[in-house]
C-alpha cells in the first residue's frame, strides 16, 4: 500500500517559518529603529551607511519571495497542477483581507499626518506667534528703556548727590515704580541695597553694551533685568549703581518657548513638502514589509489548507485509473481528516471488492476459454474421426480400392490437424503475450514499415498516411504495436477484397490530466454487421472461415497494456474506422 | 537640497598633558562667516562642533560611535536681549554684541579634555558645522538636507613627538 507523497513543508515547519520570519522582521525593525530613527531624531547624519542596505534587504527579500511564490502559482496554474485554482482563490481572498485590514490603517495614518501638518501650517498660528513675540519684545524693551532712562536721567544724578541712599530709594520708588531694587557698589564692595532681597548681588555685574544693559538673569522662575551705570559723585569717588527690575515669573521661559515655536513654525513652512514626503517614505518603509509578510503568510497558509484537498484529488484520479492502493496520510484532527479517513476506508473496500471480482472473472474467463477451446478442438476432430473411419471401412470391405479415397481422407485429416495447430499457436500467443517494454518510437516510421508489406501482395489496396504527424514519438513496445497495426491492416484488407483504401490519421487529445495520441485506421471495406459489433473483441469470435477469433482480442490486450483505449465505428457497406488512444507519456 | 559640503578645517594650538588627560586647544577655521552671521540674523540656531576620535577606534554595528568625543556649542541671536548668544554644552551662556568678538569666541575651543587609552599615540580631529538646527519634529530631515551640514577632513594629532611639540598633519 502506497502513501501520499511528502510535501516540502509540514504544518509544524510552516508555523515555524512564519514565526521565524516574524521574529526576524521585529528584530530588523528594532535594529533599524535604533540605528536610523534615533540618529535621525537627534538630527545627526547616518554614520552607518551599511544600515541602509540592511534596511533594504528585508523588503527586497520578502518582495522576492512573494514574487517567486506568485510565479510558481502562475506556472502551476498553467500546467493545471492539482489545487492551483483553489489556491489562487484562497490567495485572492487572503490578499483582499490583508488589503482591507491595512488600507484603512494606511489612509488613517496618512490623513492623520496630513491633518497634523495642515494644522501646523495654519496662517493664524503663524500670525499669533509673530504677535506674541512682538508683544514680549515690546514689553521687554519698555522695561529695559525705563531702567536705561532712569539711569541716564539728571534727576537721579541730582538725587544721588543730594540725598542719602535710603531717601534716594524712597524718592525713586515714588517716581518710578518699575524699579524693584537699587544697589550701589564702590569697586567690588556693596555700599547699599534697597528693594526686593531676591535681587541682591555680591559684586557688580558685567555689562555688555555702552548704555549699561546687563544680560538677563534667570533665578529659578524669576527673570531679572539690570542696568549698571558708573557715577562720579561730588567727593570724587566713583560708584557703580545697579538698577534691577523683576519681570513676571516665567517670563524668560515663556519668551524662549515663544521664540522657539516661531522658529519651528518658520522651518515647517520652509520644508513642509519634503517633510510630508519623508514621513510618507518612513511610513511605507516600515509598513510595506509587514504587508508583504502578510502575503507570504497567506501563501503558506493556503498551501496548508489545500494540501488534503490536493491529496484527495490525486487519490481520486488514481482510483479512476484503477489504482486502489493509494492512501492519504492524515496529520490533523479536523473535518478533512475524517474525510480522508473515510476515503481511505472506501479505497480499501474497493480494493478488496475488485480483488474478489477479478478472481471471479478470472475463473469465469478460464471456464469460458476451456469451453470454447474444447469446442474449437472438437470441430476438427469430427472430420478427422470421420476420415479415419472411412479409410478403415474401405480397408475392411475392399482393400484394393482404398486408393480411391485415401488421398482425399488423409488430405482432410492433415488440413484439420494444421488448423488445430494454428488454433493452438494463436491461443498460446494470446495466453502468453510477453510483458511490453516501451521506448520512444516514431509512430510514422512504424506505420510505414507495417504498411509497406501489403502493396506487393495486394496491388489494388492503397494506403494514405498523409494525416500522420511525422514528428510524433510515443513510448511503445515496437513489436507489439506493430502487431496491432498488422492485425488491423489485415482485417481491413480482408474486409475490402481486392480493391480499397486504408487511411491512417493521428491527432493529439487530452483526457483529464493525460495527453494521448489518437490513431484512426479507416478502411473502405464491407463494414461490420450491426449484430456482430458487440462481439468483435470477444475471444474466438470470427466471421471468417479460416479465422481463429483471437486477432482483435490480442489487439485490445496490447493497447490495454499500453494504458490506452481502442474502439471502432462501422457502417455496413461503407467501412470501418478503428480508434486507438495511446498516452504520450509513460 | 544640495550635496555640496563646505570644508571646515581645524587648527590645533596646543596639546598639553595633565596626568591621565590631554588638554587640547584648537580652532575651527570657518570658511563662510558671512553665512554664519546671516543665518543668525535670520533667527536660526547654528551648531558648531569639534569631533575627536581615537586614531585606532573602529566603529561597530552596535556601537557606531566607539571612541568618539564631541564638543558642540549652539550659536543664536537672542531677539529679547538683542544680542548674539553662545550656549555651551555645560549650560553656560555667553552674550556678544559685536560680531568680531562673537566669531572669535565661536571658533575657539579651549582645554578640551581627552582621555587616551594606554599605548595610543594619536587621535583624529575634525570640525563640523550645522548651519541650521532643525527643531522637532523637523529634525528627522537633517540627514536628508546635507546642504545644512559641513565637515572638515579628519586630521591626525600625534603626541609624544620629539621635542614635545604637538604636530598636525593631514590624513
Q: State pTM to two decimals.
A: 0.57
Q: Is the ipTM of this complex over 0.85?
A: no
B119 touching A, CB under 8 A?
A: no
Half-sphere exposure of A331 (CA within 13 A, CB side): 14
Three cell numbers written together for B71: 564638543
Q: Are strands B108-115 and A439-442 parallel, antiparallel or unpaired?
A: unpaired
Among B93, B95, B138, B150, the strongest candidate for a mutation testing the A interface, having the largest count of A CBs within 10 A, is B138
The mean predicted confidence, pLDDT, of chain B is 80
Q: Using a CB–CB cutoff of 8 Å, tell me whether B81 touches chain A.
A: yes
Q: Contact, A279 vs A243, CB < 8 A?
A: no
| Selection from A454, A510, A512 nearest residue A485 by Cα | A454
Tens digits of residue pLDDT in A196-217 = 898 899 999 988 767 788 888 8
Predicted pLDDT of residue B160: 63
Query: Residue A506's beta-bridge partner residues?
Result: A519
| Nearest chain A CA: its distance from B81 CA (Å) | 7
What is the predicted pLDDT for the residue at B3? 38
B21 touches A at CB < 8 Å: no
Partner residue facing B143 (CB), from A40, A140, A216:
A40
Q: Is A53 on the interface with B (CB under 8 A)?
A: no
Long-range CB contacts (within 8 A, 24+) of B56-65: B56/B120, B59/A47, B59/A48, B61/A48, B61/A50, B64/A35, B64/A47, B64/A48, B65/A47
Q: Give me the pLDDT at residue B164, please.
A: 46
B59 — contact with chain A (CB < 8 Å)?
yes
Asked if A275 reaches chain B (Cβ–Cβ under 8 Å), the answer is: yes
- A39 CB neighbours in chain B (<8 A) are 143
pLDDT digits (tens, 9 = 90+) for A411-470: 888 988 888 887 788 777 766 666 778 889 999 999 988 888 787 778 888 889 899 998
Q: Tell me what pLDDT residue A3 has.
A: 47
- Taking an 8 Å cut-off on Cβ atoms, the answer to whether B83 and A208 are in contact is yes
- Sort strands A461-467 and A500-511 into parallel, antiparallel or unpaired: parallel
Compute the Cα dihedral for B142, B143, B146, B150 and give only its sign. Answer: positive
User: What residues in B contact A268, CB-CB < 8 Å?
Assistant: 138
The conformation of residue A247, written as its DSSP 8-state character, comes to P
Taking only the tens place, the pLDDT of each residue in A25-57 is 778 767 766 666 666 666 555 555 556 666 677
A241, β-bridge pairs: A184, A229
CATH architecture of A348-430: Orthogonal Bundle (1.10)
Per-residue pLDDT reduced to its tens digit, B49-80: 998 887 665 666 666 666 778 899 999 998 88
Q: Report CB contact under 8 Å: B80, A136.
A: yes
CA distance A206 to chain B (A): 11
Q: How far apart are the first and last CA of chain A?
A: 21
Residue A416: per-residue pLDDT: 85
Spatial separation of the C-alpha atoms in residues A4 and A309, rounded to whole Å: 12
Of A39, A50, A278, the CB nearest to B141: A278
User: According to the model, what pLDDT value does residue A46 have?
Assistant: 54
Q: Do A267 and B134 count as a contact with CB atoms less than 8 A apart?
A: yes
DSSP A97-154: HHHHHHHHHHHHHHHHHHHHHHHHT-HHHHHHHHHHHHHHHHHHHHHHHHHHHHHH-H
pLDDT of B167 reads: 47
Distance from CA of B140 to the nearest CA of A (A): 5
Instruction: Give the strand pairing for B9-18 and B93-96.
Output: unpaired
Q: Hey, CA dihedral for B31, B35, B41, B44, is it positive or negative?
A: negative
Q: What kind and span of H or E run contains A539?
A: none
Confidence of residue B1 (pLDDT cuts 50, 70, 90): very low
User: Is A259 within 8 Å of chain B by CB?
Assistant: yes
SS3 A332: coil
Whether the CB-CB separation of A557 and A430 falls below 8 Å is answered with yes
**Is residue B83 scored above 60 in pLDDT?**
yes
Count, residues in chain A? 586
A-B contacts at Cβ under 8 angstroms? 81
Considering only CB atoms, which chain A residues are within 8 Å of B148?
A: none
Domains A149-249 and A434-583 share a fold: no
B140 with A45: Cβ contact below 8 A: no
Question: Does B142 contact A at CB distance below 8 Å?
Answer: yes
Residue A80, phi-psi category: left (phi > 0), alpha (psi -120 to 50), beta (remainder): left
Q: Is A32 on the interface with B (CB under 8 A)?
A: no
What is the reported pLDDT for A434? 66
Predicted pLDDT of residue A227: 92
Long-range contacts of A224-228 (CB under 8 A, 24+ apart): A224/A199, A225/A140, A225/A143, A225/A144, A225/A147, A226/A147, A227/A144, A227/A147, A227/A148, A227/A150, A227/A151, A228/A204
The shortest CB-CB distance from B143 to any of A46, A215, A262 is to A46
A74 contact B CB<8A:
no
B130 touches chain A (CB under 8 A): yes
Asked if B81's CB is within 8 angstroms of A41's CB, the reply is no
Asked whether the predicted pLDDT for residue B110 surpasses 70, the reply is yes
Domain A434-583 has CATH 3.30.565.10: yes
Whole-number Å distance between alpha carbons of A302 and A560: 39
> Is the bond preceding residue B137 a cis peptide, omega within 30 degrees?
yes
Cβ-in-10-Å burial (0-12, 13-18, 19+) of A174 comes to exposed
Cβ(A347)–Cβ(A324) below 8 Å? yes
Please tell me the distance from the alpha carbon of residue A452 to that of residue A330, in angstroms, as a whole number: 57
Domain boundary assignment for chain A: 2-120+266-320, 149-249, 348-430, 434-583
Q: Which fold has domain A149-249?
A: Beta-Lactamase (3.30.450)
Helices A551-561 and A478-496 cross at an angle (nearest 10°) of: 150
Task: Find the CB nearest B133 among A43, A50, A268.
Answer: A43
Closest-CA distance of chain B to residue A38, Å? 9
Cβ-defined contact of B43 to A262 (cutoff 8 Å): yes
Regions of chain A short of the pLDDT cut 70: 1-15, 29, 32-55, 120, 123, 209, 330-332, 430-434, 545-547
Amino acid at each position: 500500500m502506497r502513501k501520499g507523497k511528502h510535501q516540502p513543508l509540514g504544518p509544524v515547519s510552516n508555523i515555524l517559518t512564519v514565526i521565524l520570519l516574524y521574529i526576524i522582521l521585529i528584530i530588523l525593525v528594532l535594529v533599524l529603529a535604533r540605528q536610523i530613527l534615533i540618529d535621525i531624531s537627534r538630527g545627526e547624519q547616518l554614520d552607518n551607511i551599511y544600515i541602509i542596505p540592511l534596511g533594504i534587504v528585508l523588503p527586497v527579500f520578502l518582495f522576492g519571495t512573494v514574487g517567486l511564490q506568485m510565479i510558481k502559482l502562475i506556472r502551476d496554474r498553467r500546467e493545471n497542477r492539482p489545487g492551483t485554482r483553489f489556491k489562487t482563490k484562497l490567495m485572492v481572498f487572503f490578499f483582499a483581507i490583508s488589503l482591507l485590514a491595512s488600507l484603512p490603517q494606511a489612509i488613517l495614518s496618512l490623513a492623520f499626518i496630513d491633518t497634523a501638518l495642515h494644522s501646523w501650517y495654519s496662517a493664524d498660528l503663524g500670525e499669533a506667534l509673530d504677535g506674541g513675540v512682538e508683544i514680549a519684545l515690546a514689553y521687554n524693551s519698555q522695561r529695559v528703556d525705563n531702567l536705561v532712562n532712569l539711569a541716564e536721567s539728571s534727576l537721579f544724578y541730582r538725587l544721588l548727590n543730594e540725598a542719602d541712599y535710603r531717601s534716594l530709594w524712597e524718592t525713586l520708588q515714588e517716581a518710578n515704580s518699575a524699579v524693584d531694587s537699587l544697589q550701589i557698589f564702590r569697586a567690588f564692595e556693596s555700599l547699599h541695597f534697597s528693594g526686593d532681597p531676591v535681587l541682591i548681588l555680591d559684586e557688580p555685574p558685567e555689562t555688555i553694551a555702552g548704555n549699561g544693559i546687563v544680560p538677563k538673569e534667570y533665578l529659578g522662575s524669576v527673570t531679572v533685568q539690570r542696568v549698571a551705570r558708573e557715577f562720579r559723585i561730588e567727593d570724587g569717588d566713583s560708584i557703580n549703581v545697579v538698577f534691577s527690575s523683576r519681570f513676571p515669573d516665567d517670563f524668560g521661559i515663556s519668551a524662549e518657548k515663544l521664540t522657539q515655536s516661531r522658529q519651528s513654525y518658520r522651518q515647517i513652512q520652509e520644508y513642509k513638502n519634503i517633510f510630508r514626503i519623508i514621513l510618507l517614505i518612513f511610513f511605507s518603509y516600515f509598513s510595506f514589509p509587514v504587508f508583504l509578510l502578510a502575503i507570504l503568510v497567506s501563501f503558506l497558509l493556503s498551501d496548508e489548507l489545500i494540501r488534503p484537498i490536493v491529496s484527495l484529488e490525486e487519490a481520486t484520479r488514481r482510483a479512476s485509473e484503477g489504482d486502489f492502493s493509494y492512501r492519504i496520510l492524515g496529520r490533523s484532527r479536523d473535518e478533512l481528516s475524517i474525510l480522508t479517513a473515510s476515503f481511505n476506508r472506501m479505497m480499501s473496500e474497493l480494493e478488496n471488492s475488485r480483488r474478489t471480482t477479478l478472481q471471479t472473472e478470472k475463473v469465469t474467463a478460464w471456464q469460458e476459454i476451456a469451453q470454447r477451446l474444447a469446442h474449437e478442438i472438437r470441430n476438427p476432430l469430427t472430420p478427422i474421426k470421420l476420415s479415419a473411419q472411412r479409410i478403415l471401412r474401405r480397408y475392411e470391405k475392399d482393400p484394393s480400392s482404398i486408393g480411391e479415397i485415401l488421398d482425399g481422407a488423409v488430405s482432410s485429416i492433415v488440413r484439420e490437424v494444421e488448423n488445430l495447430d494454428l488454433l493452438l499457436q494463436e491461443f498460446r500467443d494470446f495466453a502468453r503475450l510477453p510483458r511490453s517494454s516501451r521506448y520512444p518510437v516514431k509512430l510514422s516510421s512504424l506505420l510505414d514499415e507495417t504498411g509497406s508489406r501489403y502493396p506487393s501482395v495486394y496491388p489494388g489496396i492503397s494506403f494514405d498516411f498523409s494525416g500522420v504527424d511525422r514528428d510524433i514519438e510515443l513510448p511503445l513496445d515496437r513489436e507489439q504495436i506493430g502487431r496491432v497495426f498488422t492485425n488491423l491492416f489485415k482485417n481491413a484488407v480482408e474486409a475490402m477484397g481486392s480493391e480499397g483504401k486504408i487511411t491512417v490519421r493521428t491527432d493529439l487529445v487530452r483526457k483529464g490530466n493525460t495527453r494521448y495520441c489518437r490513431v484512426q485506421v479507416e478502411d473502405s471495406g464491407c463494414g461490420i454487421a450491426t449484430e456482430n459489433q458487440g462481439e468483435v473483441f470477444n475471444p474466438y469470435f470470427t466471421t471468417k472461415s479460416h479465422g481463429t477469433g483471437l486477432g482483435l482480442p490480442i489487439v485490445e490486450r496490447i493497447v490495454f497494456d499500453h494504458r490506452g483505449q481502442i474502439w471502432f465505428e462501422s457502417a455496413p457497406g461503407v467501412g470501418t474506422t478503428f480508434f486507438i488512444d495511446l498516452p504520450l507519456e509513460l | 537640497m544640495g550635496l555640496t559640503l563646505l570644508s571646515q578645517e581645524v587648527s590645533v594650538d596646543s596639546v598639553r598633558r595633565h596626568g591621565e588627560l590631554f588638554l587640547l586647544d584648537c580652532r575651527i577655521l570657518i570658511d563662510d562667516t558671512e553665512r554664519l552671521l546671516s543665518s543668525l540674523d535670520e533667527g536660526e540656531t547654528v551648531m558648531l562642533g569639534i569631533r575627536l576620535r581615537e586614531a585606532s577606534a573602529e566603529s561597530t554595528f552596535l556601537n557606531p560611535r566607539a571612541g568618539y568625543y564631541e564638543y558642540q556649542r549652539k550659536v543664536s541671536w537672542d531677539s529679547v536681549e538683542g544680542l548674539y548668544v553662545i550656549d555651551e554644552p555645560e549650560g553656560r551662556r555667553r552674550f556678544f554684541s559685536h560680531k568680531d568678538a562673537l566669531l572669535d569666541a565661536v571658533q575657539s575651543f579651549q582645554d578640551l579634555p581627552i582621555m587616551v587609552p594606554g599605548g595610543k599615540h594619536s587621535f583624529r580631529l575634525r570640525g563640523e558645522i550645522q548651519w541650521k538646527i532643525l527643531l522637532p519634529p523637523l529634525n528627522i530631515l537633517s540627514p536628508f538636507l546635507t546642504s545644512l551640514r559641513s565637515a572638515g577632513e579628519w586630521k591626525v594629532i600625534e603626541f609624544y613627538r620629539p621635542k614635545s611639540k604637538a604636530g598636525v598633519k593631514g590624513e
